[in-house]
A and B are shown apart, each in its own frame.
Chain A
Amino acid sequence: MQEVSLSRPIDFENAVRPHLGYLYSLAVRLCGNRTIAEDLVQETLLRAFRGFSRLRNRERPRLWLTRILTSCHYDRSRAEHEANETLSLDDARFDLFDKIAEEDPFPYSDRVHLDFLELFDDDKIIEALRRLHPAHRTALILAYVYGYKAREIAEITGSAVGTVLARLFRARKQLERALWDYAQSKNLIPQTEVKR
């Protein structure tokens, strides 16, 4: 028994250290703030350490760590998470591709859609992501930044697969709206009458 207790800290450190960069990057994307992200990772490490003895597959702790970090993030922004997830009819119908073509913010360009996306540097993308409902943002980031399948996201977030798929649909719609609204609010494109 003593041997197990002596080896546990080293095992934990070795198992977790390779994932620090991943955890921090995920945390920044989820909460949109580097200082809070660092706290979030520390909280994740603490919870993970406490639960490490119960972890069966110590060789591959990434999914388990992701679940803990996502749960810490949820606990920190519970009120935000519990806000209504439904989309307005306007948001559900919003189509960024059509909106850009309609409003034509770069009239002299023959690649107006690409020009629009090029307005977004790394910080602006993170800013736009912050405008999404946190449950949508989490699903979107896990799926499209880190390549998790809907089944894995369901496991990470403790939701049904159907719920994850619905969140991904809403997330994509919200993202399209958030990119457009962000570009307008920051005067990255000429102001047009808001048609909502």
Chain B
Amino acid sequence: MITCKEAVARLWEYLDRNLGRVRETELDEHLGLCRHCCGELEFAKQVRDLLRRPDRASELTPDVRSRLETFLKELG
């Protein structure tokens, strides 16, 4: 069975479904037996979700949209 170190190194690729079938099965087997790595997997999901979250901070406000649309029109 793979070690915790190997398992942790594969977690994000696992979440992306980017591991090949063999490497994924190895990780599944490890996760079936290791509570620590299950915790790491759950945490990796939460960190990934955190990255997706800053919607408000990067939202296009009406005044910025208006300036960009004007710029776009002027290009023509």
Contact = CB atoms under 8 A, between A and B. Distances in A.
Interface of A: 9-10, 12-13, 16-17, 20-21, 24-26, 28-29, 34, 37-38, 41-42, 45-46, 49, 95-97, 113-114, 117, 120, 122-123, 125-126, 129, 140-141, 143-145, 150, 168-169, 172, 175-176, 179
A123 B57 contact: yes
A47 to B, nearest CB: 11
A42 B40 contact: no
Contacts, number: 97
Q: Across the A-B interface, give the 9 residue pairs with the lowest CB-CB distance, nearest first.
A: A9-B76, A28-B58, A122-B54, A122-B57, A25-B58, A21-B60, A24-B60, A49-B75, A97-B43
Contacts of A175: 47, 51
29 contacts: A10-B76, A17-B69, A20-B65, A21-B60, A21-B65, A24-B60, A25-B58, A25-B60, A26-B58, A29-B58, A37-B58, A38-B64, A38-B67, A42-B68, A45-B68, A45-B72, A95-B40, A97-B44, A113-B46, A117-B46, A120-B50, A122-B53, A122-B56, A125-B51, A126-B54, A126-B57, A143-B16, A145-B52, A176-B47
Interface of chain B, main secondary structure: helix
A29 B53 CA distance: 11
Contacts of A113: 39, 43, 46
Contacts of B54: 28-29, 122-123, 125-126
Contacts of A126: 54, 57-58
Report the interface size class on chain B: 20 to 34
Interface string B10-27: 001000101000000000
